[in-house]
Amino acid sequence: MLLKETEMIRRATIEDYDAVISILPGKDYDGDYLPDYFHMLMNNQFIKAYVYILDGKITGFQIVYLVDGGTTGVMRSGRIRKDTQGKGVLRKLGEFIMEQNTSLTHVVFATGTNVPTIFQNIRNGEYQFVAKRVCLYYQTHKHLLIKHLPEKETLERTVVLNQNDLIQTIKDQDLQMFKDNRLIIDTVPYRPMESNIPLILMERTKAVASYLDNNKKSIITFGSYFKLSNGELFCNLDIYGEVGKALARHIYIHIQHFVEHITDIFTIEVRCHESSPFIDKAMLENGLILVPVGKFDRKELICVEKSYYSNAKQARL
């Protein structure tokens, strides 16, 4: 691609941290997860980050997850400085990423249905609809957390999955659990493929499962946590399968994964196929209550895909 003499795009490095984080000033965007995730993402072999430089200054940034065996790129954390907006910076970053990663045949991303252009882009054929998830928000203060759940029959049927366990579970489970042939974990869409498991279960993500021997009751949850730039802890909880009594135990296990990092108020965003009274009840058992969407970005999360060659769809069948 052609760039002006004053422009450059290159791979980001750890040393770019301060310049990248300053693109979105904390006073204007205190819900940013990137300051807490930056080093973890930069050290992952399946994730690449790029910076856009104008007049010697970093003014744009984009991450791409290379998933599905390297054929799908998931764009995340795209950002540009206010004084560079409207100049096609993210488009240039996207084109550069596609040129540099020639194995990519698809680009996919998840975003809130509150983004006004997303359905327009689906209607005009630029993107293909893949999946949609309902978003619910629960909050509490650290001192209101339930310290110990009562022992229940679900305890012995609930396990934490390691990578090998999750690989085997995906092979064994009826794919109805993953209705759209996608797992959207921590806002990243994956196909249920063995090669994606190391990305799904990064150090901030835990997988918990119950009743894997019973397709009518089986449930898997994925909890990922990060500290927002305003200091609050935030957890994404992605639910697949049958929402029932086991969910309270799942939530408890996920909270124990990050409880030492909670300082005061914290939020759990649940992403599920549909809302259920069992979710409210399970959260309440752990000391969390449902809160209005309010300041949060979205009521629903939508996943879309774009193909980059004419027979890409056929190649996936």
- Answer yes or no: is 188 within a domain: yes
Reported as a single tens digit per residue, the pLDDT across 104-136 is 999 998 888 887 788 888 999 989 999 999 999
- Answer yes or no: is 126 within a domain: no
d(CA 284, CA 286): 5
**What is the reported pLDDT for 310?**
42
Reported as a single tens digit per residue, the pLDDT across 232-269 is 899 999 999 989 889 999 999 999 999 999 999 999 99
- 278 and 234 together in one domain: yes
Q: Are 75 and 53 in contact (CB under 8 A)?
A: no
- 85 DSSP assignment: T
- 156 DSSP assignment: G
CATH of the domain at 223: 3.40.630
Q: Within its chain, how far is the Cα of 208 from the centroid?
A: 17
What count of Cα atoms within 13 Å lies in the side-chain half-sphere of residue 280? 7
- For the entire predicted model, the pTM comes to 0.91
User: Cα dist. 60→50, 54, 82, 199, 261 in Å?
Assistant: 8, 9, 10, 25, 30
- Answer yes or no: is 109 within a domain: no
- Answer yes or no: is 225 within a domain: yes
**What is the reported pLDDT for 153?**
56
pLDDT-derived band at 40, boundaries 50, 70, 90: very high
CATH of the domain at 71: 3.40.630.30
Mean pLDDT computed over every residue of the chain: 89
Residue 253 domain boundaries: 131-300
User: What stretch of H or E contains 275?
Assistant: none
- Answer yes or no: is 2 within a domain: no
